[in-house]
Chain A
Amino acid sequence: MLGVALMGFAGFASLCLAMEKHFNDLLGRKPTSRQLRALKVGGWALLLLSLILAVHGRGWGLGLVEWIAVLMAGVTLWVFGLPYQPRLLLGAALASLVLGPLLAVLAV
Chain B
Amino acid sequence: MKEGFRQAMAWLHTWTGLIFGWLLFAIFLTGTLSYFKEEISHWTQPEVQSHPLDPVSSLGLAQRYLESNAGHASTWFIRLPSEREAALSVSWRDPNGGGRRGFTDKELDARSGEAVEARDSRGGEFFYRFHFQLQMPHPWGRWLSTFCAFIMLLGLVTGIITHKKIFKEFFTFRPGKGQRSWLDGHNAIGVLVLPFHLMISYSSLVIFMYMVMPASILASYGDSSGYFNDVFGRDEVPKTAAQAAPLAPLTELYAKVQEQAPGARMGYIQVHNPGDRNARVTFTRASADSVAYQRSAIWTFDGVSGELLRRGAPESAAMTTSFTFVGLHMGNFAGPWLRWLYFVFGVAGTAVIGTGLVMWLGKRQLKHAKSERMPGELRLVEVLNIASMSGLLLGVAAFFWANRLLPPAMDGRADWEINAFFLAWGASLLHAMLRSGRRAWGEQLTLGALAFAVLPVLNALTTDKGLDHSIAAGDWAMAGFDLTALATGLFLAWAAGKMLRAPKPVAKRAPRAAKTVEAS
* Interfacial residues, chain A to chain B (CB-CB below 8 A): 1, 16, 19, 22, 61-62, 65-66, 68-70, 72-73, 75-76, 78-80, 82-84
Contact = CB atoms under 8 A, between A and B. Distances in A.
Contacts of A70: 341
B65 interface: no
Contacts, number: 55
Contact of B344 (A22, A66, A73, A83): A73
A22 B171 contact: yes
Contacts of B174: 83
A76 B348 contact: yes
B171 A69 contact: no
B8 interface: no
Q: Identify which of A19, A78, A79 gathers the most chain B CB atoms within 10 Å of its CB.
A: A79
A83 B175 contact: yes
30 contacts: A1-B337, A16-B170, A16-B171, A19-B168, A19-B171, A61-B291, A61-B324, A62-B291, A65-B291, A66-B338, A68-B196, A69-B338, A69-B345, A70-B341, A72-B192, A72-B195, A73-B345, A75-B171, A75-B192, A76-B188, A76-B189, A76-B192, A76-B193, A76-B348, A79-B188, A79-B192, A80-B173, A80-B185, A82-B173, A83-B174
Given A19-B171, A72-B192, 17 more contacts: A16-B170, A61-B290, A65-B328, A65-B338, A69-B196, A69-B345, A72-B193, A72-B341, A76-B189, A76-B193, A76-B348, A78-B171, A80-B173, A80-B185, A82-B171, A83-B175, A84-B175
Contacts of A16: 170-171
Contacts of B168: 19
Given A16-B171, A79-B188, A80-B173, A72 B328 contact: no
A94 to B, nearest CB: 17
Contacts of B172: 79
B186 to A, nearest CB: 12
B427 to A, nearest CB: 33
Contacts of B337: 1
Contacts of B171: 16, 19, 22, 75, 78-79, 82
A56 B333 CA distance: 19
Nearest to A70: B341
Which applies to chain A's interface (DSSP): helix, strand, loop or mixed? helix
Nearest to A59: B291
Nearest to A81: B173
Q: Identify which of A1, A65, A78 gathers the most chain B CB atoms within 10 Å of its CB.
A: A65
A72 B188 CA distance: 11
B188 A69 contact: no
Interface string B212-256: 000000000000000000000000000000000000000000000
A73 B193 CA distance: 8
A69 B344 CA distance: 10
A14 to B, nearest CB: 11
- Minimum-distance CB pairs A-B, first 7: A16-B171, A69-B341, A76-B192, A61-B291, A83-B175, A79-B173, A68-B195
A10 to B, nearest CB: 14
Nearest to A62: B291
Contact of B196 (A1, A19, A72, A84): A72
Nearest to B348: A76
A69 B174 CA distance: 24
